[in-house]
Amino acid sequence: MIEGVLAGLFRQGTTILWWICKLSTPDKLHLYEPCHQDLFDILSKWQKGMKDQMHKLPLWDDYLEIPSEHLEVMRQRHDNFNGVIEWNKQLEQYLDAINAIPAPCILQPCRLNFVLFDLKLRYGCEIVSIVRNPIDTWFAHFPYADIDHLMTMSFDKSDGDPFYTNDFYAPLQQKYDLPPLCNFEQFAIVWTLANYYAICASDAVISYDRVVDKPAYEFMKINRKCKTMQFDVMYADLIKKYTHIYDDKIRRKFEIRFEQTVAEFGIDAYYDRVMHYVESV
């Protein structure tokens, strides 16, 4: 059954916190990215103990612990859930299949921020969301980019973001009649709304920025709030400090553009609410 959901947008610290949660409560199934579009292609080649190329972690091992009959139902109902902004029957049937697994499950999705409240109402599960400063999140989309490539992808391009900003923006654009925007302006809207929806549905909110600053202290605070998840302080050293690859002048340029975008579209109050969770102690 779905006992808890550890949610957050891509590049907000979701993977490392999922891993620490898994290490801290090994008696549960910790299902990484159950809505990944290539999940069952990956599982067809996955063997226990393998490590993925990007994160160097055994991300998909717990799927191998799911009884085969349940995994097959999941496979039949699985779909491409990129860019989900509203609850739908296909997603419901897929998550119902996960909920039928005869073991407590912690899900870690990066694609479900907009529907976490629906998920909570249907399954009665705990929701814990992760937030991170938007500029650090955006820079993490392009961790090895030189400044020219970063600027081009941010302000000259309107597609090609590697972490699905465009997939989220497209249905938002259609629903709210939004204009075409460059990648970074799309991200400003997606980050603000997706995180706002997530914190509104959450039983607890984790600031990844504060975790990076004081991991053991923050883990103790989080553990007092969470009922289905734990983050053992013995794994605090797995959290690594940020490496800032762009100078303050570049950073400020992005901050100004972000704040201008959310103000222009009238969602600055939502932005302020999310930033309260990012920054508050």
Q: Render pLDDT for 103-137 as a digit per residue (tens, 0 to 9).
A: 999 999 999 999 999 999 999 999 999 999 999 99
**What phi, psi does 81 have (nearest 5°)?**
-105, 20
Quote the pLDDT of residue 281.
52
Confidence of residue 31 (pLDDT cuts 50, 70, 90): very high
Confidence of residue 150 (pLDDT cuts 50, 70, 90): very high
Cα angle: 81, vertex 167, 8; to 5 degrees: 70
Token pair, residue 159, equals: 């597609």
Q: Which of 13-17, 234-238, 247-251 has the lowest mean pLDDT?
A: 247-251
For residue 54, pLDDT beyond 90: no
Report the mean per-residue pLDDT for the chain.
96
Quote the pLDDT of residue 100.
98
Quote the pLDDT of residue 8.
97
Q: Of 189, 197, 206, 194, whose CA–CA distance to 258 is shortest?
A: 189
Single pTM value for the model:
0.95
Quote the pLDDT of residue 246.
83
Cα–Cα distance between 67 and 83 in angstroms, integer?
Answer: 29
CA dihedral 194, 87, 169, 185 (to 10 degrees): -20
Q: Give 244 or 80, the one with higher predicted confidence.
A: 80
Confidence of residue 10 (pLDDT cuts 50, 70, 90): very high
